[in-house]
Structure 1
């Protein structure tokens, strides 16, 4: 027989659950708006030219911390796991802010490759975009279940969150290197 896992302050936890649902919906919509309506939020004089490279570094570091977090939890080193996942979440959040800042100022760059490489690029890009939209909600709910000490739910969703988030982080770097020659 299993006992229910305790939660921290159920009334406060509900607020965070609602916030996670709202952010999981609003963030992908905001990113889509920036993609389809570039230049809507232009800030004159803001130089964002270096942000794609910064974003690739942030994605690389996020992937590294995700893998370290997985390594530590497999060895039951919970404090180290928590630190690595916290770092991954922080870096992912900074990435998201940087990504939004860049795409609010600059239209998307078109890929200039031809033939097979073009198909590969668009396959990676499409899967990256679709899974990135799902990652927001997955990460927020995985974090929510951890913070509210619902560890059985945390483990169940983390089994999906980890590989999806890692794929998104790694393919973000791949997309950057494939599109970088075409930045103006």
Structure 2
């Protein structure tokens, strides 16, 4: 029997999401410790700032891509969402690399800000990022396995709106986490 990805999008979404989340949790839990080459300290120190810039660019490309599809500019939407995906992967690779080597960064600010501002923002940011992974895998697989004209007949528009909204919020909150951890405190 011939395997056809278009007929197995939910299952492929599940597999890709488990692999993606496994890599994320593996890095955070230190499972890759000692397996990666260590970059110079200056490079490791620059990753949070680079990731904040990547996040800001991603918010812009997601918003612009969303606006493009609302105006019927399918090709522009597709390009911008592709760029957003590349930015997301770049962010994730850099973040996971740094966390694998150094562990999660401690919050340097006061305990009150940590407890009542930083932790809630971080928790929402992380929760949305985790929720976004299967949603993004799903809309991406639909986009890759269907003709463009047929996408409007799938869950791609509905799930894509939810995914894009949560994705932008997660990126924006990541910038807030960066500002609290590396700029303000």
**Which moves more between the two structures, 147-156 or 63-72?**
147-156
Higher helix share: 2
Residues 1:182 and 1:25: Cα distance change in structure 2 (over 3 Å): farther
Deviates more, 1:128-137 or 1:15-24: 15-24
2:92 alignment partner, one of 96, 106, 110 = 96
Report the more deviating stretch, 14-23 or 108-117. Answer: 14-23
Is 1:74 aligned to 2:70, yes or no?
Answer: yes
User: In 2, Cα distance between the equivalents of 1:178 and 1:38?
Assistant: 27
Matched, 1:144 2:141: yes
Normalised by the length of structure 1, the TM-score is 0.84
Q: Which piece of structure 1 moves more, 90-99 or 30-39?
A: 30-39
**Equivalent of residue 32 in structure 1, options 6, 25, 36:** 25
Alignment of 1:1-184 (within 5 A): 11-14=4-7, 18-37=11-30, 40-47=33-40, 48-114=44-110, 116-118=112-114, 119-149=116-146, 150-151=151-152, 152-181=154-183
TM-score scaled by length of structure 2: 0.83
Instruction: Return the alpha-carbon distance in structure 2 between the equivalents of residues 146 and 63 of structure 1.
Output: 20
In the comparison of the two structures, how many residue pairs are matched? 175
* Stretches of structure 1 lacking an aligned partner (at least 5 in a row): 1-8
Runs (5+) with no aligned partner, structure 2: none
Query: What's the offset of the Cα at 1:147?
Result: 2.1
Secondary structure, counterpart of 1:49 in structure 2: helix
RMSD over aligned CA atoms reads: 2.4
